[in-house]
Amino acid sequence: MFDTKTVSMEWGGKTLTLETGRIARQADGAVLATYGETVVLCAVTAAKSVKEGQDFFPLTVHYQEKFSAAGRIPGGFFKRERGATEKETLTSRLIDRPVRPLFPEGFYNEINVICQVLSYDGETEADVVAMIAASAALTISGVPFMGPIAGCRVGMKDGEYQLNPSMAEVAEGRLDLVVAATHDAVMMVESEAKELSEEDMLGAVMFAHEENRKVIDAIIKLAEQSAKEPWEIDLSDDKAAMKEEIRGLVGNDIAAAYKLTDKSARSSALNEVRAKIKTHYADADGQTQMTAGKLGKKLEAEIVRTAILKDGARIDGRKVNEVRPIEAMVGFLPRTHGSALFTRGETQAICTTTLGTKEAEQMIDGLDGLTYSNFMLHYNFPPYSVGEVGRFGAPGRREIGHGKLAWRALHPVLPSREDFPYTIRILSDITESNGSSSMATVCGGCLSMMDAGVPIERPVSGIAMGLILEGDEFAVLSDILGDEDHLGDMDFKVAGTEAGITTMQMDIKVAGITQEIMGKALAQAKEGRAHILGEMTKALGSARNELSAHAPRIETIQIDKSKIRDVIGTGGKVIREIVAETGAKVDIDDEGVIKISSSDVAQIEAAKKWIEGIVEEAEVGKIYNGKVVNIVDFGAFVNFMGGKDGLVHVSEMKNERVEKPTDVVSEGQEVKVKVLEIDNRGKVRLSMRVVDQETGEELEDTRPAREPRGDRGGDRRGPRRGGGGGRDRNRGPRSDDNGPAKEGGNPDHMPAFLKDDD
């Protein structure tokens, strides 16, 4: 029934298997990829015709994680997979970026690539498996895909590269790098690194490329068995005469427009050029008008690229390795915890840092279960930043991707949770954009964190590199403009500290780049990063020593794990009371680490003192401040040290005889007490009479010494037996020494150990 074709290979210590012919047979191409026990199904479908008037390539890539793949049911009210998570969006982009450039120019048929994670082993990340499955499905589908590609993850530990390391190995190592490549060239790079050198990063990319070639060979073997007939498409370019006509019409105007260094002026001039082309072909049919517009844009690219390669003349007049003017300032927003305004040329970002407590952490429900993140970076790109009218609202794929890139750049230099127990959120609002707004976010975000007092290891800067490639000739451009990005062949972003690279992202619009080009781009980027760091230092060289007055303070204390239940109390009663009374937030974990937070230092100190009182052991002979919490006929119960209760017997209230405890104390009264005795069950006997209630100084005991409790008639703590231990007639209704009277009093104020005595 099934005509199944399978290819398997050993790769990175696990078996990679590609299978087709069993599942999703009505798709143009479908591949089930298995690596370890992670299984991803990718199905490709393509429209057989182009929609009328369409002048772009409508490729959509969707990556979806099924909770059942990890044996989990989705959390929350809705128990099914919903809209794409941030991780799913980022993985969809990860697959799209190396695939899109490998379709021929002029191919406008709509294509869907849908990748679904069906099984997840908790070790092998599914993103790389999905990329391989997508490449294989496209390769066998018959669509004009100039692949295949392959992708792999590279880690680094103890100076050695690791192929497809587990998530635990990535966390322990210094590198998390994903590389996609064809057999001949690298197409895409995405990474986070712990300040690695350019040589180490380039070596990791080349290591990945060699490993990718092995998978590409396996995909080709699968295609030789199962590929469908390739589509017959006519993409011949017979518009040379029309292109030359447009060159004569507006060629000089385009060259003049691209000599205008101001973006707005340049955009206006180019709009006039495009309007001139449109007017010239106004009487032609719709297809001709569309073709003329596209040829005009091609002519723009040709003029700009030729000028850069031949004369080194960039659009704004800079040299190829020159960075635009930079202006940075910090602390310009009065109520934020940290703020920075970073401007580089016509690209500008307002970045703010907000510090929060543990409860502000981001909860993530994914295949690995419920996890929490204490560092967030959110990037916004409103339409006014490019002088346009457009959609404004929830972030799109591009905004999520740019935010994650900046997140990866800054994450490696953050302090540990133990050293800085705050949740950190950076918000980047792009207010002007003309290229490399994600790297402006890195620089501005770093400055805003330092302004907030986050003790980062070293400042981070970022730069975007471009490429103009014509045959064997190429030029690498530093700090590219938006037009240089659109008209060029590469968008290569590098961020890091003076000690090394923290992230590297590369997208290619041609069929890949060589090791030589990447090496030159990395070296040029290092120079640019150093220059930008120098400009950032003029605004703020290191993290401030003090947090903002508006930021919460967090103090951490460690208690013995056996005392956790005492701090929490039955049903959380004690910890809720601490929070309600002091106003501070209190978090406690299973290891006995307590974090007390508030913007008011006095509230933190009050909560800390309370907790220390609960966990501290009372000392016999020591004097404490206390509060009367319950009065009974034979004395008063006093709470001291925040969580301890003891009995002040009526005979210990004053040196003279006291008829009723209420003659001396009232409920809620602040008193000073001395610990006389702590028995082997933890019950505490207190005295007020030997302490000066005004000064707290100990007074001389003028009463005759009492005989030890164990030598007096009968055991007054135990059950009444025979004639021994008869009750004291002056004590009122019968009661235990440290228990409540059977008449009167309020036993709810007493701890459990005082209630359960006979």
Q: Which residues are annotated as a binding site for Mg(2+)?
A: 485, 491
Name the nearest CA neighbour of 630 among 483, 735, 508: 735
Q: Is omega for the bond preceding 148 within 30 degrees of 0, making it cis? A: yes
CA distances to 543, 603, 639 from 682, rounded to whole Å, are 49, 30, 14
In the structure encoding, which two tokens stand for residue 620, read together? 């016999």
**Geometric angle at alpha carbon 65, from 84 and 206, rounded to 5°:** 100
Name the nearest CA neighbour of 143 among 33, 56, 57, 218: 57
**Residues 212/180, Cβ–Cβ less than 8 Å:** yes
**6 forms bridges with which residues in the sheet?**
19
C-alpha to C-alpha distance for 65 and 78, rounded to whole angstroms: 16
| Cα dihedral 112, 6, 231, 131 in deg (nearest 10) | 40
C-alpha to C-alpha distance for 378 and 402, rounded to whole angstroms: 9
In this structure, the strands spanning 423-432 and 347-356 are: antiparallel
**Geometric angle at alpha carbon 361, from 356 and 366, rounded to 5°:** 165
**Residues 155/237, Cβ–Cβ less than 8 Å:** no
Q: What is the total residue count of the chain? A: 758
Write the DSSP symbol of residue 706.
Answer: P
> Coil, strand or helix: which one is 304?
helix
C-alpha to C-alpha distance for 189 and 202, rounded to whole angstroms: 11
Annotated binding-site residues read 485, 491
**How many C-beta atoms lie closer than 10 Å to residue 83's C-beta?**
6
In this structure, the strands spanning 623-632 and 585-588 are: unpaired
In this structure, the strands spanning 362-366 and 347-356 are: unpaired
* Chain mean position to CA 755: 50
Q: What is the 3-state secondary structure (H, E, C) of 323-362?
A: CCCEEEEECCCCCCCEEEEEEECCEEEEEEEEEECHHHCE
CA distances to 37, 483, 652, 740 from 439, rounded to whole Å, are 38, 16, 72, 69
C-alpha to C-alpha distance for 297 and 307, rounded to whole angstroms: 16
Main-chain phi, psi angles of 389, to 5 degrees: -100, 130
**461 forms bridges with which residues in the sheet?**
496
Strands (E), 420-487: 423-432, 461-470, 473-478
**375 forms bridges with which residues in the sheet?**
424
- Residue 163 region, left (φ>0) first, then alpha (ψ -120 to 50), else beta? beta
